Structures are given as C-alpha cells and as structure tokens.
Amino acid sequence: MTVLDPSPSAAAERPVFANAREARQAIRAGRWREHTSGLAPANVQGNVVILPAALASDFLRFCQRNPKPCPLLAVSEPGDPMLPTLGADIDIRSDVPRYRVWRDGELADEPSDIGALWQGGLVSFVLGCSFSFEHALIEAGIELRHVREGRNVAMYRTNIPTTPAGPFHGPMVVSMRPMKAADAIRAVQVTARVPAVHGAPVHLGDPALIGIADIGRPDFGDPVEIKPDELPVFWACGVTPQAVVMAARPAFCITHAPGYMLITDRLNSDLPFA
Amino acid sequence: MTVLDPSPSAAAERPVFANAREARQAIRAGRWREHTSGLAPANVQGNVVILPAALASDFLRFCQRNPKPCPLLAVSEPGDPMLPTLGADIDIRSDVPRYRVWRDGELADEPSDIGALWQGGLVSFVLGCSFSFEHALIEAGIELRHVREGRNVAMYRTNIPTTPAGPFHGPMVVSMRPMKAADAIRAVQVTARVPAVHGAPVHLGDPALIGIADIGRPDFGDPVEIKPDELPVFWACGVTPQAVVMAARPAFCITHAPGYMLITDRLNSDLPFA
C-alpha cells in the first residue's frame, strides 16, 4: 500500500504511505526503520523528547520561553504513552523508527522500540519540525538544495542565547538553507505563517554575526554549497532542545534519532493548530 | 492648531497637523510649502502622476502589471481634479505643496499650484508611498537611520526590469534601508502586510546582484551608513513610475516633487483599503 512520491522532496525513490496511520503501523511493526523525510508529506512530523516527571515542568517552561527552537505540539499525561491530540492510536513507545536513549547525558543505545524502558511518570514532548516548513517552502516554489541533493540539512551551534528554565539552558542550534535574496524574502513570509514549526528565520547573511566560524563545517547534518548570488538563511532548529537536554545531563532521557521523527495525524495545512 | 511631533520620525521639530484636512488646507492656502514627511503621520500619503487621457490607459496597465513599485491607491475621472475616494475635499490642483511640470520629458517648472495648467482630460494617479510602511516599521520598533538622521531615503536605479505597457518601460528604482538581519526579517513580515505601499522588499544583501555598482552613491536621495553588522534591504520605490514616465517623454505631464506628497484622509491602519 505504498506509492512513489512524485514530489521534488523525494531525492531517491522513497515510498510514501497512503496516510500517517499506515506509516506508523509499518514503523510499529518494524517494517520501516529508515528516516522519515518525505513520508506522508502532508502530515506534521515531530521532534520527540521523553523526560522523567521531575524534569518535565522545567522543560515545559523552557519550551514556553523559547518557542522558535521549541514549538510545542503536544505534551503527554505523566506515565501515559499515548498522544491523543496528535493521533488516536499514537503510542510513543513504538511509533518512532529510531530512538536515542541517554543516561547521564551520554548516548547509551539506539533502539527501535522503547516498550521495555517505559516507566511510570515519563512525560513525552512533541515539538514542531522543519519538515513541515520545508513542505510549505517547496509548495511555494522555493527549491531547497539539500532536499534536491537528498542530504540532511546543515545545522550549526550559534551564540544566540536561549532563555533558561531550571537546569535547561544553552545556545540555539540553527538550520541553514542557501537561497537567492528574492527567495529568502518569500521564505520569511511563508515560514512566518507557521510559528508551530519554528516560524520566520532568526538570521540571514553573515554567519559570523551569530557565532558560526566556518559555514562549510556544520555541527550536525551535511554541508551544502552556497552560490555567489545566494545568502545563507538560518532558522531555529529542533536540535536545540535535544542539545539543551543533553547539556543538562539528566540521569535518564529518551529522544528520537535526528531525522527519525514521529509522524502525526495532524496536517501541515492545519498549522497552526486552532 | 499644530502640535510638535514627539515621535522619532521627526528629526527636527516639525509641526504635525491635527488631521489630514488641516494639513491640506495649509498647503492649499500656501501656508505649508515644505516636504510632507511626518505630517499627519497616521495618514496615507501618495505619489502623484497626472497624465493626458491619451496616455492614461497605458499607465494604468503599467501600474496593474507592476504593483510593487506602482501600488495604485486612486485614479481620477478624466478631467476631474477631485479624488473623492481619498478624501472628500481633495483637489489635485492645489493640495500638493510642490509639483513638477514636465514638457517633452524635461523638467519645465516647480509650481505650488497647477490650477492654471489644468486641462480637460487630465487623469490623476495616486500611488502608495513608503512613508506608510516606514510608519509601520517604526511602530514595530525598527529604527530607520535616515529618519533618525533627518535625511531623505537613499534610492537607486537597478537592473530589475518592470513589465512594460504601451510607451512605459524601464528598470525598477528601489529605496534602501540598512538594518541588522533580525530586523530585516521582521521588516519583511511587517511590510509584506501592506502591499498597498510597496509590500515586502525586492532584495537584500549584495547590491551588485541588482545592478547597483556603488551603494555609497545613491541615484536619488541621501547616502546612509551601512554598519558591518547590517544588511542593505531594498524596497520597490515610488520613484519608479516617475522615472518610467520621464523616459517615455510625454509632451505634457505633472508629478509631485519627491517628498512633497499628497496627504489623504485614509489611515495607514486601514491599509490595504478594503
């Protein structure tokens, strides 16, 4: 029940599922363990952070204070693995194709199911992801080089501070997409309309002004060419909360693996959720 | 009945009138012959082009095809000097503080009243002006250096083509305001909401990419410093239609003098007019 994605966002011939529920069923059954870019492209995908209840209210405050890097789409009830506001059948223990388990701030494992690790009191946070605004940019006719080349987006640590909450603090991580000025101006307008998935850019032009020493060497993801008639355009990135959580070195924490997102039933076209 | 303008847009101590009608009455009576920046700041001001009926439909098509440099606010009935959609008492023959009269494309005179030149068949065009979007930018907390320094905005001829109509054609003229990237991103969002006064920028960053050889030497207006942590941001400019009309060298034509605008009863807060 898969079809080939005819959109330019499919660099290789990757299947798309008829809907988000089918994609999640394949992931849950272990039939899909790849990254989720381009799967169910009309649907909102999310970054995932799962924390013990003792840290949950600090992290919630951190997200509220830093909505551009941490646009909260949903927070679970403590101990409840379901996320009914994002889809009736979503079980956070099984519906992400690859997780990262962190102990004392160090990566401990990358399982494809966390049922055995589930504990009462865990709280799941789902945060908006740039796949949604990239969908909006592509729909607006703006070509994204890393998508066309089938690469991961280039991401950088910056000197832009976040607003701290409890143990959570640290600089913003940004993603960068090169484009011509006219496209950058349109991209500001397109992404400003979707604050639930990072919103408008936080910077454009000179990378040094936000503390990026070498634009050719991203801290995460793949480098991408910037042509002479292009500007680098920078958006707040969902890697920020993950970096902030890691820096706080919680005893136990689970996230998704970068690019291996939770696919929700919510539609990109419904953003921001009313 | 004038008060001092406490806003940062008043570089010197220039009076503002209680309302647009009072400002027009002072202009009509010859009591105000200065430029109109900062006068009745809540009100929309407009660029003025007055053409013989034979050229009017070509110019109307030109404006329709080039809405960013030529955002049409009103067009008069042929031969009628009144502009009732912009204000009940507006008489285009007397309500602009300084006009320019052009014959065969050459500047022939700069009168403060054109009653003696009025002819049956003349059509008046009023086009949106950047004073309105500068008001919106200042309200959004974005400082404009040329306003703070009491200078005219820097304007440049570019290699950005307009879409021709009849005898009207030629490159776009842009105005430039230097700002930090974060302000530039907000400025895109603020000005995109006011398409009736030039809308979002047409370019930002490298001036050479739009054919500007020396950013320090504007073609119109005053040069302005660009600091190392700033980008030049370029908007389509209302000087474009004037340049295009001059290039067409009509036998007879009247415009406002740059900076000496028509003050209308319409409010900036009502843009775009419903």
Q: Domain limits at B135? A: 131-240
Q: Chain B partners of A185 at a C-beta cutoff of 8 Å?
A: 188, 200-204
Q: How far is CA A199 from CA A134, A234, B99, B110, B241, in A?
A: 11, 11, 45, 49, 35
Looking at the fold, whether B151 and B105 belong to one and the same domain comes out as no
The dihedral region occupied by A38, where left means phi > 0, alpha psi between -120 and 50, and beta the remainder, is left
d(CA A250, CA A56): 11
Average pLDDT over chain B, rounded to whole? 90
Q: Do B189 and A185 touch (CB under 8 A)?
A: no
Handedness of CA A251, A253, A257, A258 (dihedral sign): negative
- Looking at the complex, does the CB of residue A160 fall below 8 Å from at least one CB of chain B? no
We report the CATH number of the domain holding residue B52 as: 3.40.1640.10
Between positions 182 and 221 of B, the ones with CB within 8 A of A are: 182, 184-186, 188-189, 192, 200-206, 209
Looking at the fold, whether B176 and B64 belong to one and the same domain comes out as no
Looking at the fold, whether B6 and B121 belong to one and the same domain comes out as yes
User: At residue B104, does pLDDT exceed 60?
Assistant: yes
Handedness of CA B80, B86, B90, B95 (dihedral sign): negative
The pLDDT of residue B9 is 42
Is residue A253 within 8 A of residue A56, CB to CB? The reply is: no
Looking at the fold, whether A180 and A101 belong to one and the same domain comes out as no
- Count up the domains in chain A and report the number: 2
pLDDT tens readout for residues A107-154: 999 999 999 999 999 999 999 988 888 888 998 999 999 988 888 899
Looking at the fold, whether A101 and A184 belong to one and the same domain comes out as no
d(CA B65, CA A33): 51
Looking at the fold, whether A6 and A105 belong to one and the same domain comes out as yes
Looking at the fold, whether A31 and A118 belong to one and the same domain comes out as yes
We report the CATH number of the domain holding residue B211 as: 3.30.2040.10
Residue whose C-alpha is closest to residue B250's, from B49, B51, B5, B29: B51
Looking at the fold, whether A70 and A160 belong to one and the same domain comes out as no
Give the DSSP letter of residue A121.
T
Query: Which H/E stretch holds residue B4?
Result: strand B2-4
User: At residue A182, does pLDDT exceed 90?
Assistant: yes
Looking at the fold, whether A53 and A155 belong to one and the same domain comes out as no
Q: Best of B158, B183, B185, B231 to disrupt the A interface by mutation (most A CBs within 10 Å)? A: B185
Can you read off the two tokens belonging to residue A241? 């909360």
pLDDT tens readout for residues B179-229: 999 999 999 999 998 888 889 999 999 999 999 999 999 998 899 999 999
pLDDT tens readout for residues A185-226: 999 999 998 888 889 999 999 999 999 999 999 998 899 999
- pLDDT confidence tier of residue A273, bands split at 50, 70 and 90: low
Looking at the fold, whether A76 and A141 belong to one and the same domain comes out as no
Is residue A95 within 8 A of residue A29, CB to CB? The reply is: no
pLDDT tens readout for residues B51-89: 999 999 899 999 999 999 999 999 999 999 999 999 989
Q: Chain A partners of B186 at a C-beta cutoff of 8 Å?
A: 200
The pLDDT of residue A118 is 96
Looking at the fold, whether A158 and A169 belong to one and the same domain comes out as yes
The pLDDT of residue B7 is 39
Looking at the fold, whether A37 and A163 belong to one and the same domain comes out as no
The pLDDT of residue B133 is 84
Can you read off the two tokens belonging to residue B175? 């105005």
